[in-house]
Structure 1
């Protein structure tokens, strides 16, 4: 005879459809629950309940939580230090820290202090990342008076962390400020890091360009290219999220440094799998979270500014509404 509460690994609370044998229990194996799900969305919701409870048990109550999306309003270093003592492991981190160039959401500090600060939170991310996990860091340029106009921040960081640097990705966004005495800047960099260079997630087929197949090019009578499309290379062409009364992007929010969803969508698809945990320590307007959720990944974010947490919540709720209305993702 079964007890009122049955404990298993990967268990979660469930009140809903269930086989008769487990009808009187509150805790059941996750794989049993999945057998009663009609589609991927139901599995995602079930697994997210377990994931959220696990996060809350170790990290405390979040500022916001909803079906696979958890947001904390706090300093990422404090949060990551607590996580280091918990049993939560990250599959993928995607983030863009303040560039230390005086934007409205940041305070300018010395270059040495900025680099040390970056190393501090990156080291904590490394400790909390799975062995096959990845870390994508978007950073731009900074200026040092009388020395340089535009120093690429990657030059200051790339060799000062424990992650293995796989590649630098150039994001060419095609639009921006005009210049008269130097070339107009039109790119930012992503540093693609992995924890273990011999085993890491890389789903190339999920991000191939289907519009570039070169079907008539053959070698020894065989097609030279992959039928799914071309490898997108290390130079990515995605438009920037623009502002302005006449040219504002549809996804524009009040955040001054907003990622386009299309860029982060590619990162998440290539460097994580469905039901993986994606983290962004500088959540900002919530772009990473929406891209993760839209691809059936769980999202964990921290954001030190409450106003941006509120912005993220409003944006995520709007995304859920649109998703429900169209019965599809935003992508």
Structure 2
């Protein structure tokens, strides 16, 4: 990444190269997230395309029988407008099972899309739908839950939500992953928050889908290092660890991410792409019961999975459909460019 020099008045400590390494070394130029990571835009093989079409038709028919007509359904992307408790209950009476759930619920912090609850009510509500998700998950399935912080009156201001929810369902909590990012809220009387958590649950801790080779990090400092004559590191790269550094979906006139929608709490495609690659396989069914702008849906479709989303707000459903259609057009244009390049 290209370093950008900074010119400042060094009479101020933070602008003096003796104290600030950014001044002495320069800063990395801003790289906003793209409309979609390049891997999500790659064409599929004819065989996978055929498998996806057949599975989509079968899944859609079963969903219509139990959940009714969807808000939108096309090319493996199925979205229902309604309350997740009701929709999950109906889904539990079908023969369909979910291979992976990836979602981020409201944090109960007063956002425009949520109804504030007392802490006990919020925990009970989360426990209800977490248990419902467990009931519709395949035996080898997983559940990745993205959560942040909330205030517990008279107890704490920034209480990590995992402390409140980690054991509120039959799922087995395999691991907590820290999502670290640069931009965020600035504070004066406490440290500025720069991370959220992903709780990695599995249904069966002895037998679950985990494709480590699909998410290995090739950025190895000493790739040719050996021990007893053998290379120390896997040729595909290292395990990315449980601390993930992905930029947030940013706003602002000059720094806004290209994938940005009008949703106020959008997580980046890069994060959910890694989750889906690690914990599912092509043609499997991915659920997001708090679909929002459908980042989970875009990543799932781009990786050759089927997507089922629930979203209670019709305006967010409209936003998600428009985003999906834009993504499909982008993927079509990308495939056309690749074909023209080959010939």
Query: Is the TM-score greater than 0.5?
Result: yes
Q: 1:59 aligns with which of 57, 67, 74?
A: 67
1:191 maps to: 199
Q: Could you list the structure 1 runs, at least 4 aligned residues long, displaced by more than 4 angstroms after superposition.
A: none
Equivalent positions of 1:207-246 (< 5 A) are 207-212=215-220, 214-246=222-254
Deviation at 1:174, TM superposition (A): 1.5
Change (3 A) 1:110 1:228: same
- 8 A contact 2:63–2:91 mirrored in 1: no
1:187-210 Cα distance to aligned partner (Å, 9 max, x none): 000000000001000000000012
- 8 A contact 1:49–1:67 mirrored in 2: no
- 8 A contact 2:130–2:168 mirrored in 1: no
Q: Point out where structure 2 has 5 or more consecutive residues left out of the alignment.
A: 1-44, 338-343
Q: 1:279 aligns with which of 275, 287, 292?
A: 287
Q: 1:312 aligns with which of 316, 320, 323?
A: 320
- 8 A contact 1:213–1:229 mirrored in 2: no
Change (3 A) 1:60 1:213: farther
1:26 maps to: none
Deviation at 1:45, TM superposition (A): 2.1
* 1:296 correspondence with 2:304: yes
Q: Point out where structure 1 has 5 or more consecutive residues left out of the alignment.
A: 1-36
Name the CA distance, whole Å, in 1 between partners of 2:46 and 2:277: 23
- 8 A contact 2:101–2:288 mirrored in 1: yes
Name the CA distance, whole Å, in 1 between partners of 2:52 and 2:122: 38
Name the CA distance, whole Å, in 2 between partners of 1:210 and 1:39: 29
Deviation at 1:328, TM superposition (A): 8.1
Name the CA distance, whole Å, in 1 between partners of 2:222 and 2:70: 49
TM-score, normalised by the number of residues in structure 1: 0.86
TM-score, normalised by the number of residues in structure 2: 0.83
1:140 maps to: 148
- 8 A contact 2:109–2:150 mirrored in 1: yes
Name the CA distance, whole Å, in 1 between partners of 2:224 and 2:142: 36
2:183 maps to: 175
Q: 2:167 aligns with which of 154, 159, 173?
A: 159
What is the number of residues matched between the two proteins?
A: 293
Q: 1:265 aligns with which of 273, 278, 282?
A: 273
* 1:326 correspondence with 2:334: yes
Name the CA distance, whole Å, in 1 between partners of 2:187 and 2:78: 41
2:252 match: secondary structure: coil
- 8 A contact 1:213–1:227 mirrored in 2: no
- 8 A contact 1:68–1:297 mirrored in 2: yes
- 8 A contact 2:277–2:303 mirrored in 1: yes
Name the CA distance, whole Å, in 2 between partners of 1:288 and 1:198: 26
- 8 A contact 1:284–1:303 mirrored in 2: yes
1:109 match: secondary structure: coil
2:135 maps to: 127
